[in-house]
Structure 1
């Protein structure tokens, strides 16, 4: 289209929307790479701590922590951890047996003044002091002193008073004191057994059939038969009612102490018919019946040391082998601890 005369040129400005922005730089990539590297190092460290032993970790620490012999401190011993591993206190270098050089105190220097004067030294006057015991000692006195030292308190003259003798005397005194206390304890226990039977009206008349005494093996309690008052059925092992009651009293008393128990049965010299039972069988059966009465009375089965029958071999009255008193059962409360060589059989 033709422009009219006198009109100027038309300027057209074209604007395009969109497009890419300006360049922002790559600093964030470096920071991100450092962060990823640090995280990888951290997870690698955590994996090493979990997958290695203490010895392996100590070796790694020593590899990266060489010792500087001439330095005041080992390499890597500074802050913040002081050269210590996460699993052990102290410096890691100390576990590698490394040499350490430490500075010591300064030497002491004595400042001595020199005497420039020409005055000669004056001699010091000597004074005699009283003589000591060693200077006044004579061979006779020394010998007497040694003898007095050897024969100290509690030492017999001429024994020398050696440590072995003193220890032996102390052990002997201790043993005697323990035996004395044990005898007193058994005496009290024996009186308790007698009182338990004596104070029971139903058993008071059986007190004469109860014998309690101390023997070398311990405290022996015996239940004796009497004329027309047997503890067991004649020729049998069944205990009578009074024997049961009497044995219950005995069991109640001996339950107060932890001593072990040995039970023995005895018979008189009356023989059985040939081919029938023997006194060995009868005495053993009565001893076992007594054991059952004790355990029924509360005595622990583990305390029973032995159960034996001796037939007529150890009569109460050897001059009267047929006497009813020879038919008896014996409950022996053994001494604790049992001395070597003691016989547990009454």
Structure 2
């Protein structure tokens, strides 16, 4: 036998199968591509559908150097409380809302504002004319005997006419809603002056802080309300149109005219010629 040793070489052949689609990795890549394209087109649409201020708000929102407000709602969000579908925000045709956006004319807004100012000035003049006529009528009636019971002032609500008690000359009987002859004359004078305009009228009765009685069934609340209704009836009989009466109320001693709660001036009837 030969002493020569032969080395045996084993060759392993690796069989590769499936040379077609190379797995499903291409589907993931395609899905990512489609998602990116959709996001791109949404971004383009959003940029086209928003105003310059909204785009600035979006940029500030994604800017890490600017802290994001923690207040929710009420205009503290990216679009300042508005949406891209807001009729007032979308000035471009075809982006939410209607296809036509009403245009606002600055000149027309100025005209409306001037018209309102003119109407307000005319009403102020009319109320001032009523005030002047009222004092004139009161002086012509019985001189300062009637005029001393009248106090007038202009307020945001309108012209307020206060018919007040004075020492020695009450407008109602003590603890009663029965008017004195002076009160009847006063109310007739006021009705003649007030009916010259179309403004609504509010009639409110007031008392001082003196308790009416010990009974619980009738108090200064009822007394002030009854006196206000008495004033209403007298003014209607004097010619004031019923349609002008907008309010009749009694407030007892809750709104004193002077700091002294027992002062006679606090016993009064307030007649307000309301602004339109």
Give the TM-score band, short-chain normalised. Answer: 0.5 to 0.7
| 2:246 corresponds to | 305
- Does residue 208 (structure 1) correspond to residue 154 (structure 2)? The answer is no
2: distance between equivalents of 1:280 and 1:307?
13
| 2:159 corresponds to | 219
How far residue 264 of structure 1 moved from its aligned partner, in angstroms, is: 0.4
- Does residue 287 (structure 1) correspond to residue 236 (structure 2)? The answer is no
Unaligned runs of 5+ in 1: 1-161, 337-346
RMSD: 1.5
Q: Any residues of structure 2 matched to 1:71-220 within 5 Å, and which?
A: 163-200=104-141, 202-220=142-160
SS of 2:167's equivalent? Answer: coil
1: distance between equivalents of 2:214 and 2:144?
39
- Does residue 329 (structure 1) correspond to residue 272 (structure 2)? The answer is no
Count of aligned positions? 173
1: distance between equivalents of 2:162 and 2:213?
28
Unaligned runs of 5+ in 2: 1-102
How far residue 203 of structure 1 moved from its aligned partner, in angstroms, is: 4.8
Q: Select 2:200's aligned residue among 254, 260, 269.
A: 260
2: distance between equivalents of 1:273 and 1:197?
34
SS of 1:181's equivalent? Answer: helix
**TM-score, normalization by structure 2:** 0.60
| 2:179 corresponds to | 239
- Does residue 315 (structure 1) correspond to residue 256 (structure 2)? The answer is yes
- Does residue 251 (structure 1) correspond to residue 191 (structure 2)? The answer is yes
Deviation digits for residues 285-321 of structure 1, max 9, x if unmatched?
000000011001011222211110001111101x211
1: distance between equivalents of 2:213 and 2:239?
38
How far residue 167 of structure 1 moved from its aligned partner, in angstroms, is: 2.6
How far residue 170 of structure 1 moved from its aligned partner, in angstroms, is: 2.1
2: distance between equivalents of 1:180 and 1:199?
29
Paired residues of 2:126 and 2:197 also in contact (CA < 8 A): no
| 1:278 corresponds to | 219
Max Rg structure: 1
Paired residues of 1:203 and 1:246 also in contact (CA < 8 A): no
2: distance between equivalents of 1:181 and 1:280?
37
**TM-score, normalization by structure 1:** 0.48
2: distance between equivalents of 1:251 and 1:199?
15
2: distance between equivalents of 1:314 and 1:246?
22
Paired residues of 2:205 and 2:250 also in contact (CA < 8 A): yes
2: distance between equivalents of 1:297 and 1:195?
18
How far residue 174 of structure 1 moved from its aligned partner, in angstroms, is: 1.5
2: distance between equivalents of 1:275 and 1:239?
23
Paired residues of 1:203 and 1:242 also in contact (CA < 8 A): no
How far residue 163 of structure 1 moved from its aligned partner, in angstroms, is: 4.2
How far residue 206 of structure 1 moved from its aligned partner, in angstroms, is: 2.5
Q: Which runs of 4+ in 1 moved over 6 A?
A: none
Q: Alpha carbons of 1:208 and 1:258: their partners in 2 closer, same or farther (altered >3 Å)?
A: same
